[in-house]
Amino acid sequence: MSSINITNVTVLDNPAPFVNPFRFEISYECLTSLKDDLEWKLIYVGSAEDETYDQVLESVLVGPVNVGNYRFVLQADSPDPLKIREADIIGVTVLLLTCSYMDQEFIRVGYYVNNDYEDEQLREEPPTKVLVDKVQRNILTDKPRVTKFPINFHPEDEQTNGDGPPPAEPFDDSVVNGEALVLLEQPQKVQETEPFNESDVNEEVFLEQPQKLQETHDSSLTPA
């Protein structure tokens, strides 16, 4: 059984200018006390073809981790446009929110992000050089991808008892809500999803109807 359950993630200040900080309100519960802190990361995927363009926007340790319910706001700077290829600034990319314990990643929430000019004339006749201060980002909060990984939250017990790592737990909570914090009373059904399609990152995405949270059990969310 997982010691940490992420109960809600809310994207704040969205949409926003490309240069504005990211802000996420994260709620989670701890079922058993942990000796070490949790590490939260926010990663911006700069290119679908080359992971060297990925930028870790923030990495923070949160603790102590005792039994109880917690909520905090994770804020991260916007990506450095100088570290992104000019052709990749405008369009759709991916933003990853991850949490790890003792260097073991146990959950990853991925969002599509659409970057485009807010001004219609700039969209129709884009300048040769991207005007970053005119670009607006829109995190597509109604279609996140969630991946959970089985990890050992208590390696000290394994050393004592000789037990192996815990089996994978089925994902049974709705953890992401894009507009406002929602206290969840009943778990919502989760649908299996196909592996993340890298070609989606290079295409414009239009979402008209909110879709249910989906989960995948592999790490294919990050574009290769």
Percent of the chain with pLDDT over 70: 69
Whether residue 210 has pLDDT greater than 70: no
Cα(103)–Cα(91) distance, rounded to whole angstroms? 32
Strands 214-216 and 91-101: unpaired
Average pLDDT, the chain: 79
Give the pLDDT confidence score for residue 188 in this predicted structure: 32
Rounded to the nearest 5°, which phi and psi values hold at 223? -60, 135
Judged against a pLDDT cut of 70, whether residue 28 lies above it is answered with yes
Residue 162 pLDDT grade (very low, low, confident, very high; cuts 50, 70, 90)? low
Rounded to the nearest 5°, which phi and psi values hold at 89?
A: -70, -50
Report the range of poorest mean pLDDT among 47-56, 66-75, 158-167, 187-196.
Answer: 187-196
Question: Hey, what are 39's tokens?
Answer: 């590490």
Inform me whether the pLDDT recorded for 15 exceeds 80. yes
Provide the greatest CA pair distance for the chain. 66
Mean pLDDT of 160-181: 43
Quote the Cα angle for 136-108-201, to 5°: 45
What's the mean pLDDT in 21-29? Answer: 97
- Over residues 133-155, the pLDDT tens digits come to 999 999 999 889 999 999 999 88
* pLDDT beyond 60 at 181: no
**What is the model's pLDDT at position 48?**
87
- What is the Cα 14 distance to its own chain's centre? 14
Residues paired with residue 113 on neighbouring β-strands, in sequence order: 93, 139
| In the block, residue with structure tokens 């999803």 | 193
Q: Is the pLDDT of residue 183 over 60?
A: no
C-alpha closest to that of 147 among 188, 99, 102, 113: 99
Res 199 pLDDT > 60: no
Q: In the prediction, which pLDDT does 219 show? A: 41
For residue 32, is pLDDT > 90? yes
CB of 140 closer than 8 Å to CB of 205: yes
pLDDT of residue 158: 62
Among 63-72, 180-189, 199-208, the range scoring the smallest mean pLDDT is 180-189
**pLDDT band at 2, cuts 50/70/90?**
confident
User: Which domains, from first to last, does the chain contain?
Assistant: 4-216 (2.60.40.1490)
Nearest-angstrom CA–CA distance, 14 and 34: 33
User: With a threshold of 0.85, does the pTM exceed it?
Assistant: no
